[in-house]
């Protein structure tokens, strides 16, 4: 596939659709997280958002201990890109994937989550075969109603099973409250995390009472991480979207202690049709900007909003009196949801002050397995 | 990226998530379209659905005159894959893309759509520079409210502008009623197409009355193509999704004259968590099956349905008394929308009678520009 831009080009010269990182707000987002956390928790940035080793390296340079991934193939891409500490913040099931995970653990510090005793045994067997070891976290369902065992006794039973394994190190609890991240009101988000923290505290106490060290509780996303830190129940946070800040996250209420992040990820699109004065059509549809969490926002064009998309078209409504987008004009869109949008592209076109400064490979694009 | 499967593997051995084509229903879908059309219109299959030169070649072998694409980069992939007749059923705007389109027209019969006189002039200049020629269709808005000029006089004016160009051949009208494709009731879809056909007929008559030959009217999708054929107003149809038949199209009412197509595209997923009896979680979320047109269907597992997805998880609800999916078990999902789902993968894993027969490259994955 051809490169999407050349270094030194002006933004307006970049062919479309293209995935743009505006480096100045991106760098401020990295710094803002660091300032807000202020060393009160370890930061393990979530690489599922960006799938890019270059960004992961910058997160580590900004203080992160390493990254999380959701898939073994993502973890492989991160280790290949020089990240030495990776947590697969997810269950891994099936012999081929376990064998890859155990192999990868020979090359980097690797962690994984479990919520099933049979899976613990399979992990132990895979690591024994590979001659490697893994950090293993018990995933506790603290409100996401997805994977994870219930807090309390079921988590203790799994911790015991892990502690009995020669090649597995019981490392603590994974306790991510995904459902809380997009609760709009900050007070409600804080309340949801307070409940999660209570469940975590009780579970940790129960495990430690059984004589098993519970080194770490990890979890938290961009919408809530300061609440986890302030709860005192979490040692490590896993924010991902903060680097880019998408349109859906921007609909949250943001207030202290959470810093306000800036939009740093955009889809550059061209106006390809102006059929009637009140409608402009851009060449970026749902194959260019994922709509699972809502339509993209048109960036800094008052009176112009995206009202509909199809596969390759974004339909914009132009309010009476708004500056009218011309045929061929390029517009920036803020994606509704950054993670699946990134997964549609091979490269980030990184821009500073309106000039292309770098192309970064999206190393783990399509890394599903 | 590693190959997703090996030839000869059993389906259950394929690592997940994987994009599966079941070749028997796929081949029946090709034949069913051919039988239904029965030579009453040209078939120009839409390659935006599959993005795969191998499938395009099979469509041509099954009688299609060629394919449509939505993007120049898709057209490049199809021409590279041996397709000699490609219509970009969309407007193409901007000098870099026009130059590529004009270059590509030196290697294959190429068509494009227009809805703007300035764009006609830019196309003519690009073809003059490349020493090539293009078939040009005036796109008429027959109800999609997206691109396209209004029927009647505006279309005639554009046809005149094209006819004056040395390197452009005015070839007829593009008249795709996208909004009609997913109208559930067949009678309402037929009525929408009848309106489109009336607009097309009036526009064609007006152009021909001005002494300009209007060789062809092209349009129609998988949800309506027999109505366009029966209207007598269309010479060429552009169905895409019929090869795969996704969950959203399956919610349409299907009755004669439209044939009933079968599901031939699936996402193979593994049960990665069984936290409680009523919930199973699979390793395929919205990065494995696009949810823009609804959640995937769980295939042939009574009492098990997908109720929620996140990036990398599909949450299934298991009804009381339903056969319970085991941890590690593999399930087939029917994607909500085939086109953007295909765009997430590099390969089709093609299966016949439960064995992998071939891997087909998704040549135009991510071909946005």
| H helix or E strand, kind and range, residue A165 | none
**B233 and B92 within one domain:** yes
Burial of B187 from C-beta contacts in 10 A (0-12 / 13-18 / 19+): exposed
* Structural domain boundaries enclosing A323: 11-18+261-361
CA gap A125, A129 in Å, rounded? 6
- DSSP 3-state helix, strand, coil percentages of chain B (rounded to 5)? 30, 25, 40
Task: Tell me whether residues A368 and B288 touch, CB distance under 8 A.
Answer: yes
Q: H/E/C letters for each residue in B94-131? A: CHHHHHHHHHHCCCCEEEEEECCHHHHHHHHHHHHHHC
Q: Which of A187, A213, A243 is the last residue of a domain?
A: A243
Answer yes or no: do A135 and A224 share one domain.
yes
User: B353 to chain A, minimum CA–CA distance in Å?
Assistant: 23
Query: Per the domain annotation, does A31 fall within a domain?
Result: no
Helix (H) or strand (E) holding A198: helix A186-209
B248 shares contact with chain A (CB less than 8 Å): no
The whole-angstrom separation of Cα A135 and Cα A239 is: 20
Q: Which residues have C-beta within 8 Å of that of residue A256, sequence separation ≥ 6?
A: none
Q: Is B89 on the interface with A (CB under 8 A)?
A: no
In a domain, B28, yes or no: no
Kindly state whether residue B147 falls inside one of the protein's structural domains.
Answer: yes
Domain-located, residue B33: no
Tell me the two tokens of residue A189. Answer: 């988000």
Residue of A nearest to B327 (CA): A93
B271/A93 Cβ within 8 A: yes
Q: Please check whether residue B285 is in contact with residue B306, taking contact to mean a CB–CB distance below 8 angstroms.
A: no
Whether the CB of B154 is below 8 Å from some CB of chain A: the reply is no
Q: Do B279 and A145 count as a contact with CB atoms less than 8 A apart? A: yes
Strand pairing partners for B139? B174
Ramachandran assignment for B152, one of left (phi > 0), alpha (psi -120 to 50 degrees), beta (any other):
left
Q: Tell me, what's the pLDDT at B2?
A: 81
CATH number reported for the structural domain that contains residue B43 in this entry: 3.20.20.10
Distance CA A110, CA A105 (A): 5
Q: Do you know the residue count of chain A?
A: 369
Q: How many CB atoms lie within 10 A of CB B149?
A: 23
Contact status of B50 with chain A (Cβ, < 8 Å): no
Task: Locate B256 and state its tokens.
Answer: 């004669």
User: What is this structure's pTM?
Assistant: 0.97
CA B48/CA B336 separation, integer angstroms:
16
Specify if B252 maps to a domain. no
Rounded distance between C-alpha atoms, residue B188 and residue A258, angstroms = 51
Which of A149, A339, A345 is facing B275, going by the closest CB pair?
Answer: A149
CA–CA distance, B219 with B225 (Å, rounded to integer)? 8
Partner A, chain B 189-228, Cβ-Cβ below 8 Å: none
Contact list, A178 vs chain B (CB under 8 Å)? 310
Phi-psi region of B162 (alpha: psi -120 to 50; beta: other; left: phi over 0): alpha
3-state secondary structure of A313: coil
Beta bridge mates, B144:
none
| B72 and B134 together in one domain | yes
Domain boundary among B185, B208, B243: B243
Domain endpoint, select from A216, A243, A270: A243
Q: Which of B72, B43, B48, B39 is nearest to B60 (CA)?
A: B43
B286 vs A274: CB contact, 8 Å cut-off?
A: no
B311 touches chain A (CB under 8 A): yes
Tokens of B170: 């005015």
CA distance linking residue A14 with residue B188, whole number of Å: 43
Q: Are A69 and A143 members of one domain?
A: yes
In-domain check, residue B29: no
* Domain CATH code at residue B280: 2.40.37.20
Residue B251 in domain: no
* CB nearest A275 (choices: B141, B339, B346): B141
Domain count of the fold of chain B: 2
Asked if B53 and B199 sit in the same domain, the reply is yes
Residues B238 and B266 in one domain: no
By the 8 A CB rule, do B146 and B175 touch?
no
Chain B residues close to A284, C-beta within 8 Å: 368
Same domain, B271 and B221: no
Residue to test with chain B: of A5, A273, A315, most B Cβ within 10 A: A273
Short-list B189, B149, B192, CA closest to B173: B149
Residues A293 and A282: their CA atoms lie apart, in Å, by 20
Distances (CA, A) of B81 to B58, B67, B342, B354: 12, 12, 18, 28
Check if the interface score ipTM surpasses 0.95. yes
Residue A57 lies in a domain: yes
Q: How many CB atoms are closer than 10 A to CB B125?
A: 16
Q: Are residues B218 and B277 in the same domain?
A: no
| Residues in chain A with pLDDT values less than 50 | none
Residues of chain B with C-beta less than 8 angstroms from the C-beta of A269? none
Q: Using CB atoms within 10 A of its CB, is residue A305 exposed (0-12), middle (13-18) or buried (19+)?
A: middle
- Looking up tokens 């505290």, which residue turns up? A201
- A151 part of contact set with chain B, CB < 8 Å: no
Gap between the Cα atoms of A61 and A132, Å rounded = 27
A267-to-A11, A243, B342 alpha-carbon distances in Å: 11, 15, 21
* pLDDT score at B251: 95
Are residue B223 and residue B287 in the same domain, yes or no? no
**Which residues lie below 8 Å from residue B148, measured CB to CB, with a gap of 6+?**
A273, A275, B115, B139, B140, B141, B142, B174, B175
Angle between helices B153-163 and B186-209 (to 10 degrees): 50
Whether residues A274 and B116 touch (CB distance < 8 A) is answered with yes
For residues B236 and B272, state if they share a domain.
no
Q: Which residues are A19's β-sheet partners?
A: A267
Positions of chain B with pLDDT lower than 50, given as ranges: none
> Which of these, A65, A58, A50, A164, lies nearest to A108 by C-alpha position?
A65
CB < 8 Å to B116, chain A: 273-274, 327
In tens, the pLDDT along A50-61 reads 999 999 999 999
Q: Is A310 on the interface with B (CB under 8 A)?
A: yes
Closest CA to B100 of B116, B83, B118, B80: B80
| Confidence (pLDDT) at A2 | 81
**A317/B contact by beta carbon, under 8 A:** no
**Nearest beta carbon to residue A339 from set B275, B291, B311:** B311
Q: For residue B90, list chain A residues with Cβ-Cβ distance below 8 A.
A: 272, 312
Query: Do B106 and B207 share a structural domain?
Result: yes
Q: Are residues A71 and A200 in the same domain?
A: yes
B287·A94 Cβ contact <8 A: no
Interface probe, candidates B9, B112, B248, B311, chain A, greatest A C-beta count within 10 A: B311
């Amino acid at each position: 596939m051809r490169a999407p831009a050349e270094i030194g080009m002006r933004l307006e010269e970049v062919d479309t659709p293209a995935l743009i990182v505006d480096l100045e707000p991106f760098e401020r987002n990295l710094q803002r997280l660091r300032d807000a956390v202020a060393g009160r928790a370890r930061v393990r940035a979530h690489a599922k958002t960006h799938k890019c080793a270059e960004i992961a390296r910058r997160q580590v340079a900004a203080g992160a201990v390493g990254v999380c991934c959701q898939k073994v193939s993502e973890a492989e891409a991160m280790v290949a890109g020089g990240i030495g500490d990776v947590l697969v913040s997810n269950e891994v099931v099936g012999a081929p994937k376990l064998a890859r995970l155990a192999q990868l653990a020979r090359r980097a510090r690797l962690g994984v989550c479990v919520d099933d005793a049979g899976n613990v045994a399979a992990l132990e067997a895979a690591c024994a075969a590979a001659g490697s070891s893994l950090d293993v976290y018990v995933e506790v369902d603290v409100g996401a109603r997805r994977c994870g065992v219930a807090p309390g006794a079921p988590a203790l039973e799994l911790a015991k099973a892990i502690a009995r394994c020669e090649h597995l190190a019981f490392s603590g609890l994974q306790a991510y409250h995904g459902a809380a991240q997009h609760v709009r009101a900050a007070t409600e988000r804080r309340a949801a995390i307070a409940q999660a923290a209570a469940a975590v505290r009780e579970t940790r106490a129960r495990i430690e009472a059984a004589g098993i060290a519970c080194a770490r509780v990890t979890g938290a996303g961009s919408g809530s991480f300061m609440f986890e830190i302030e709860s005192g129940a979490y040692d490590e946070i896993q924010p991902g979207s903060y680097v880019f800040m998408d349109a859906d996250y921007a609909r949250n209420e943001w207030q202290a202690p959470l810093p306000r992040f800036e939009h740093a990820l955009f889809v550059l699109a061209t106006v390809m049709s102006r059929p009637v004065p009140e409608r402009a059509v851009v060449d970026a549809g749902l194959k260019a900007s994922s709509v699972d969490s809502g339509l993209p926002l048109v960036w800094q064009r008052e009176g112009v909003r995206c009202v509909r998309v199809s596969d390759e078209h974004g339909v914009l409504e132009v309010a009476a009196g708004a500056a009218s987008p011309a045929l061929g004009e390029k517009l920036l869109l803020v994606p509704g949801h950054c993670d699946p949008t990134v997964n549609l592209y091979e490269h980030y076109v990184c821009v500073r002050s309106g000039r292309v400064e770098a192309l970064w490979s999206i190393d783990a694009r399509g890394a599903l397995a």
